């Protein structure tokens, strides 16, 4: 039986602690195709390296043959992140993503529509707990990986209350995805959630904020204790130095605290954005529009197109894919069709973007301020024109 003197044990502990600190400081890099180029990114960091195609090919070959890290990458990583790469084969410190001919680089995923809040503005309407099995979730993430998705937003409902969220998040991280989580922060204080984000650093955590006082927050979310759980989550997230960003929800019930919300965000030193324009539900229902603060309705810029269905797609809790969260017509069931179903998305996008119905032939369509799928939702909800259409604006504010 071996025996270690106390001094030796202390020294061994110090060595292990130092090694653990070095390991925690180092995070495996991801080298991946992205749109028409190639990137090297680092989980937990918003910085990236753009590398030429021949350097990406060199990394891929070196990883496959267990060759050491090229000197150019070591120098670039030191300059970009101030880090010295570990010695050893490049595959131990860089995950090289395989090229994909599907052309997608970003995706969003509603892991579950269930939520522990019941906010009246929510575009999801009935927030029912339902979704894929664990095996199906893994299949969906594999499809996203093989489609080329590098940036993935996991949302809900409230994603952190889904029983498979920790495993799905960890699996997506292991496959080389940069992860954003949209949350109400009510579980950010949870020890297991904090450990998950420590081990697998997120790219960003976007937190919705529904007021600046307990009374307003609890009333709007229709949950007693909602403010306390939100504040506890924010405090824990700040202490853990998570990359938080606040979406301040400004509605007719929270507008009187808009300035206070902004002041709190400044005090907490968290980047923030005011979300003011309410949209119909995903079913075209008008109930969410009742929360609109007319005073804070923000004038949109002219819509000039987007990459929905071309380089980006959205997946609902059942693995049905659409061009985005708004344009959900003609969904593709990836659980039955598999990855080949994604090849139909660009054609669906082209069709959904055509001006039809009440917008067909409109003289102002060239400067319209919403996409056709969103306009259709507003029309189905019989929303006031001022919410989405220039025909509802005074003449002097109409684009020409």
Give the C-alpha separation, 208 to 203, whole Å. 17
Is residue 304 domain-shared with residue 197, that is, in the same domain?
yes
Which residue, 43, 67, 96, sits at the end of a domain? 96
Is residue 86 domain-shared with residue 126, that is, in the same domain?
no
> In total, how many domains does the chain have?
3
> What pLDDT sits at residue 23?
42
Q: What is the dihedral of CA 299, 303, 304, 308, to 10 degrees?
A: 130
> What pLDDT sits at residue 14?
54
Is residue 51 domain-shared with residue 165, that is, in the same domain?
no
Is residue 110 domain-shared with residue 209, that is, in the same domain?
yes
Place of tokens 């006031």: 384
Give the C-alpha separation, 287 to 284, whole Å. 9
| DSSP string of 31-61, one letter each residue | EEEETTEEEEE-TT-S-EEEE-HHHHHHHHH
Which residue, 48, 63, 96, sits at the end of a domain? 96
Is residue 347 domain-shared with residue 367, that is, in the same domain?
no
> What pLDDT sits at residue 106?
98
Is residue 92 domain-shared with residue 46, that is, in the same domain?
yes
Domain assignment of residue 143, yes or no? yes
Is residue 211 domain-shared with residue 326, that is, in the same domain?
yes
Give the C-alpha separation, 190 to 244, whole Å. 16
Residues in Cβ contact with 207 at an 8 Å cutoff, skipping those fewer than 6 apart: 183, 184, 185, 188, 230, 233, 234, 237, 244, 245, 246, 247
- Helix, strand, coil proportions of the chain in percent (round to 5)? 40, 15, 45
Domain assignment of residue 30, yes or no? yes
Q: What is the dihedral of CA 67, 72, 74, 79, to 10 degrees?
A: -170
Is residue 290 domain-shared with residue 365, that is, in the same domain?
no
Peptide bond into 157 cis (omega under 30): yes
Give the C-alpha separation, 97 to 175, whole Å. 8
Residues in Cβ contact with 11 at an 8 Å cutoff, skipping those fewer than 6 apart: none
Give the C-alpha separation, 125 to 275, whole Å. 18
Q: Report which of 87, 40, 90, 85 is spatially closest to residue 69, judged by C-alpha positions.
A: 90
Give the C-alpha separation, 275 to 292, whole Å. 11
Domain assignment of residue 14, yes or no? no
Domain assignment of residue 9, yes or no? no
Q: What is the pLDDT along the chain (400 residues), one digit of tens a residue?
A: 333 344 444 555 455 444 444 444 457 999 999 999 999 999 999 999 999 999 999 999 999 999 999 999 999 999 999 999 988 899 999 999 999 999 999 999 999 999 999 999 998 877 788 889 999 999 999 999 999 999 999 999 999 999 999 999 999 999 999 999 999 999 999 999 999 999 999 999 999 999 999 999 999 999 999 999 999 999 999 999 999 999 999 999 999 999 999 999 999 999 999 999 999 888 888 999 999 998 998 888 888 888 999 999 999 999 999 999 988 889 999 999 999 999 999 999 999 888 776 677 787 777 888 888 888 888 888 988 888 888 877 765 666 5
Q: Residue 218 sits in a domain of what CATH number?
A: 3.20.20.70
Q: Are 94 and 40 in contact (CB under 8 A)?
A: yes
Give the C-alpha separation, 73 to 52, whole Å. 12
Is residue 92 domain-shared with residue 222, that is, in the same domain?
no
Domain assignment of residue 288, yes or no? yes
Give the C-alpha separation, 51 to 13, whole Å. 40
Domain assignment of residue 259, yes or no? yes
3 state DSSP class of 66: coil
Give the C-alpha separation, 160 to 117, whole Å. 12
Which tokens is 121 given?
């503005």
Instruction: State which residues form the domain around 392.
Output: 357-397
Domain assignment of residue 5, yes or no? no
Which residue, 96, 115, 136, sits at the end of a domain? 96
Domain assignment of residue 280, yes or no? yes
> What pLDDT sits at residue 397?
65
Give the C-alpha separation, 248 to 232, whole Å. 17
Is residue 90 domain-shared with residue 111, that is, in the same domain?
no
Is residue 55 domain-shared with residue 80, that is, in the same domain?
yes
Give the C-alpha separation, 150 to 191, whole Å. 27
Is residue 38 domain-shared with residue 129, that is, in the same domain?
no
């Amino acid at each position: 039986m071996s025996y270690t003197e106390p001094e030796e044990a202390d020294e061994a502990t110090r060595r292990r602690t130092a090694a653990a600190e070095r390991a925690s400081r180092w995070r495996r890099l991801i080298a991946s195709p992205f749109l028409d180029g190639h990137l090297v990114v680092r989980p937990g960091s918003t910085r990236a390296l753009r590398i030429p195609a021949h350097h990406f090919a060199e990394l891929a070959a070196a990883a496959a043959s267990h060759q050491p890290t090229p000197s150019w990458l070591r120098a670039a990583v030191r300059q970009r992140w101030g880090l010295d790469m570990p010695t050893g084969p490049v595959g131990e410190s860089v995950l090289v993503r395989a090229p994909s001919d599907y052309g997608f680089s970003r995706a969003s995923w509603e892991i579950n529509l269930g939520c522990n809040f019941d906010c009246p503005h929510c575009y999801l309407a009935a927030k029912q707990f339902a979704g894929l099995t664990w095996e199906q979730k893994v299949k969906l993430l594999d499809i996203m990986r093989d489609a080329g998705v590098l940036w993935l937003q996991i949302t809900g409902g409230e994603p952190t209350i889904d029983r498979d969220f920790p495993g799905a998040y960890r699996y997506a991280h292991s496959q080389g995805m940069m992860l954003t989580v949209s949350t109400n922060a009510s579980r950010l204080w949870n020890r297991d959630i904090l450990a998950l984000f420590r081990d697998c650093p997120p790219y960003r955590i976007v937190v919705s904020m529904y007021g600046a006082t307990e009374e307003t927050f609890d009333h709007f979310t229709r949950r007693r204790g909602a403010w306390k759980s939100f504040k506890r989550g924010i405090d824990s997230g700040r202490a853990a130095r998570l990359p938080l960003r606040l979406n301040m929800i400004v509605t007719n019930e929270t507008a009187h605290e808009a300035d206070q919300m902004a002041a709190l965000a400044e005090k907490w030193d968290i980047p923030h954005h005011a979300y003011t324009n309410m949209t119909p539900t995903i079913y075209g229902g008008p109930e969410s529009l009742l929360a609109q603060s007319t005073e804070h309705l923000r004038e949109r810029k002219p819509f000039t197109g987007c990459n929905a269905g071309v380089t980006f797609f959205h997946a609902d809790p059942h693995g049905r894919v659409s061009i985005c969260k708004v344009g959900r017509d003609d969904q593709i069931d990836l659980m039955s069709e598999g990855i080949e179903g994604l090849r139909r998305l660009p054609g669906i996008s082209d069709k959904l973007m055509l001006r039809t119905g009440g917008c067909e032939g409109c003289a102002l369509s060239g400067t319209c301020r919403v996409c056709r799928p969103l306009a259709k939702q507003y029309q189905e909800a019989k929303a006031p024109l001022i919410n989405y259409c220039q025909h509802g604006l005074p003449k002097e504010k109409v684009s020409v």
